[in-house]
Structure 1
Amino acid sequence: MDIARDEHLEQMNRDFLAVSDTYTGTLTKDPFPILAELRETEPVMQGDVLAKFHVPSQADYANSGRPVMTVLRYDDVLAILRDAENWKSSLMADGFGAAVDNLLLTAMDDAEHKKYRSLLQPAFLMPVIKRMTDTVIKPNIEVLLEPLRARGKADLVPEFSLPFPVRVVYAVLGFPADSDTVMKLASWALRILGGPQIDPAKAAVTYPAAMDAGQRLFEHVLPIVRARRETPTGHEDLIGFMQTVDVDGKRFTDEEITHLVRMLLLAAAETTSRTFSNMIIMLLERPDVLDKVRSDRKLIPRALTETMRLDPVAGNLARIAAKDMEVRGTVIPKGTAVTLSISAANRDPEAYERPDELWLERPLRPVLSFGFGPHICMGMHIARIEMEAALDMVLDLPNLRFDPAYPQPAIRGLQLRGPDALHVLWDA
């Protein structure tokens, strides 16, 4: 069966595009010149750069009227992400938090965050994920790529970059190998992400849909967790791990595990899909860099890091001031939220030489695309390993190039950036 015609994948693609529409807002052009000007003229800006373009913002997902400012310089963004004592993450639960009973690791602070993070982190460590590379990650990528090879052409968004992270992450979690169920669950996760809206009329539609999707996710995941409890297969996957780990001398209940799994599903695959597509576009736009990476596969990790720096999918994060704070001489009063422009910080010339170039030889320093500090993305090792493996496989497609029968793909959005389509050819 042609996976592009699978009804569940088609529904997932529609939900994916709906999320893109939500986080593009009114911005119809390249955002980086706009962000560069703001970074130079208003490095600590009054107001929310996302709300300015009618894009839902983590700083005020619930549209409560909370005061918001925007921080655009690398050093300032890095300092705020490091300082979990004075800059809190609780506001991240606004908007779609209610759809998952406000159980979001990204929205936890202080002791609660440390407790859950320390319990779950061992299952996400690099050595643990690397052990799954040949047995879980590569096979779940290969099953999608193999039927495409002889065809010599594809739209990589719906046919490859959208489904492969879903398959990988759900396998790492320990879900049964049931493609229909996996794609259905992924669609519900996307509807939760699409719940927040600036326009009240749109929110009246998307918010109830997000609440319904959250409930459906819980109802479908709980039996899977219970079945694993009845027939345990060890703790090599995340569900098995959570069923064996102690929490203050107690074990997680099936309901608690289901809540945690639902939390992890929200961004477990979607941002990886966009990041991979963006990386392919940036490499195809630069044939000399593409050839360099193809001929020396040891450069793949650098290619991933550099493309994520240049055009991050999660271009903005948010925190709220726990007390009056000062950033670059500007007072940010207690209770004020800040939108942290990762996109602007990642191209800050004070932090990066040749900031607007894709430069594989760039001297290493922290890139903020996975966040930083105590709340750095817990799943980043899964994301990196699967994207590196997928790029390695795609680079084996001979003479990979854009398909001239279609417009060259464009990366769009001010948040959750990515293309709608990615039509390519290769020599079959």
Structure 2
Amino acid sequence: MADQQTSDAPTEFDAFDAFAAKNALNGVGVVKDPYPRLAELRSQCPVHQGSVSARFDLPGADRIIAAEDEQASVYTYQGVDAVLRDAASFSSSWYRMSIGDVIGRTILEMDPPEHRRFRSLISPAFTRREMDRWEHGFVRGIVDAYLDRFRADGRADLAADFAFHYPIHVIAVAAGLPVVDLPEFYRHTALLTNVAVSQDERLAASRDLGAMVQELIDARRAEPADDLIGVLVRARLNDEDWDGASDRQLTDDEIVAFLRLLVPAGAQTTYRAITTVLYGLLSHPDQLAAVRADRSLIPQAIEEGLRWEVPLLAVGRTAVRDTVVEGCPVRAGQHVNAPVAAANHDPSRWERPDEFDIFRTPVPHVSFGVGPHVCLGIHAARMEMRVALDLLLDRLPGLRLDPDTPCDGVTGLGLRTAVRLPVVFDTP
């Protein structure tokens, strides 16, 4: 499966237009540095009433989803950590309101114990062992195929030419989707979670993507395979406390919904994360040189990049009871924004938090979340980023920012991305 699909050159397509409205809504290209304002808010009070976007005078997805008086936002590391760990007080059911209609019911909106049961069915598809199989089966081949397209040119845009396409390509091949269908696959997923486009467009994309995934499910039920869909089709759980069933499998609808969640969550956030880590290194040539000389530094460079610029500003919860966060009241029914970007820049946890420094003493961040809903694809994201950095440094000697082409770097509020990463390098 993997060898056949990665032997072909990557298909040309341009999905940037589908992201333009989403980027604009989330302040990409508008907000360069949100951290001074986030620090000001944190110093005033750990918890503020209202949305995050309103504090920056931006429309924002959070303001579309809920009214200002129905929201509270937490700006400290301790507060965000407490909200994400306390599933009894803060429910993930908020996501049912924001994306449930277009994705379907998934683990994202479930609370314990239901969440634990469904996660245990899905998690075998994302173990470290499975990611090792992905890496050597097709991920490295996908990276090489993209680099082959511009390696002889001596210049490229690592965001537009590489990072934008690479993670979605990985998921498509992992799922068993023919590479020829990749442009349509990306178009559907670009619309799916984009609240900046109409609900009709999102529902149409949901139906079309569901049909593509259903074809793969039918094929795997007829003939087993080792791809992602095949693993999910075979997954079983022995649990007598599950609606009276002692042997539970995922239904077709549950697999379809999970893929609708996985693709935008995995592909888009990994794309944004790759651009921010690359920009961090490229804009700090001494640290880039250290990583080039010692590849064992790649994992800590990735973790620092994720802490420094998290792809998604905040995650959401709904308070299910009156409670207190960092000494501040939060009332039942409020939508609670947990801006992990603010938490990752809390000076009570990190010295010089706004600086990119891969040599700082490692301290766990919350970019992948914490608690019951810690990111299921954490091993996949880290593997994809590690492979990308390793092969970029191997195959693009002298990699550096293009001194003749302006680069805005990382921008955005709700989403943080380096939309363009113009670079030059030595040719073979």
* Residue 310 of structure 1 pairs with residue 314 of structure 2: no
SS in 2 for 1:338: strand
SS in 1 for 2:198: helix
Q: 1:346 to 1:193 in 2, by over 3 A?
A: same
Taking the aligned partners of 2:236 and 2:110, their CA distance within structure 1 comes to: 20
Q: How many Å apart are 1:65 and its aligned residue?
A: 6.0
Which residue is equivalent to 1:392? 390
Q: Is the 8 A contact 2:216 2:229 kept in 1?
A: no
Q: How many Å apart are 1:152 and its aligned residue?
A: 1.1
Query: What does 1:15-414 correspond to in 2, within 5 Å?
Result: 15-24=18-27, 27-52=30-55, 53-57=57-61, 62-63=65-66, 67-101=70-104, 103-176=105-178, 178=179, 180-194=180-194, 196-197=195-196, 205-233=197-225, 236-247=226-237, 248=245, 249-396=247-394, 397-414=396-413
Greater displacement, 43-52 / 347-356: 43-52
Taking the aligned partners of 1:166 and 1:322, their CA distance within structure 2 comes to: 35
SS in 2 for 1:132: helix
Taking the aligned partners of 1:105 and 1:66, their CA distance within structure 2 comes to: 28
Q: 1:145 to 1:133 in 2, by over 3 A?
A: same
- State how many pairs are aligned: 410
Q: How many Å apart are 1:27 and its aligned residue?
A: 4.8
Q: Is the 8 A contact 1:25 1:54 kept in 2?
A: no
Taking the aligned partners of 2:343 and 2:219, their CA distance within structure 1 comes to: 46
Q: 1:348 to 1:253 in 2, by over 3 A?
A: closer
Taking the aligned partners of 1:371 and 1:87, their CA distance within structure 2 comes to: 14
Q: Is the 8 A contact 2:210 2:256 kept in 1?
A: yes
Q: How many Å apart are 1:55 and its aligned residue?
A: 4.3
Moved over 6 A (4+): 2-5
CA offset digits 1:24-51 (Å, max 9, x no partner): 1795441111111111112211211124
Q: 1:45 to 1:23 in 2, by over 3 A?
A: same
Q: How many Å apart are 1:250 and its aligned residue?
A: 4.1
Taking the aligned partners of 1:230 and 1:275, their CA distance within structure 2 comes to: 37
Taking the aligned partners of 1:289 and 1:344, their CA distance within structure 2 comes to: 24
CA offset digits 1:310-354 (Å, max 9, x no partner): 111111111111111112221111111211111111011101122
Taking the aligned partners of 1:368 and 1:63, their CA distance within structure 2 comes to: 24
Taking the aligned partners of 1:395 and 1:374, their CA distance within structure 2 comes to: 36
Q: How many Å apart are 1:405 and its aligned residue?
A: 3.2
Q: Is the 8 A contact 1:73 1:344 kept in 2?
A: yes
* Structure 2 unaligned residues grouped into runs of 5+: 1-7, 238-244
Taking the aligned partners of 1:135 and 1:3, their CA distance within structure 2 comes to: 16
Q: How many Å apart are 1:94 and its aligned residue?
A: 1.8
Greater displacement, 46-55 / 220-229: 46-55
CA offset digits 1:52-79 (Å, max 9, x no partner): 4334345x65345661111011011111
Taking the aligned partners of 2:106 and 2:233, their CA distance within structure 1 comes to: 19
Which residue is equivalent to 1:202? none
Letter in structure 2 aligned against 1:213:
A
Letter in structure 2 aligned against 1:47:
G
TM, length-normalised to structure 1 = 0.90
CA offset digits 1:273-320 (Å, max 9, x no partner): 111011111111111111111111000000000011011111111111
SS in 2 for 1:150: helix
Taking the aligned partners of 2:285 and 2:59, their CA distance within structure 1 comes to: 33
Q: 1:79 to 1:255 in 2, by over 3 A?
A: closer
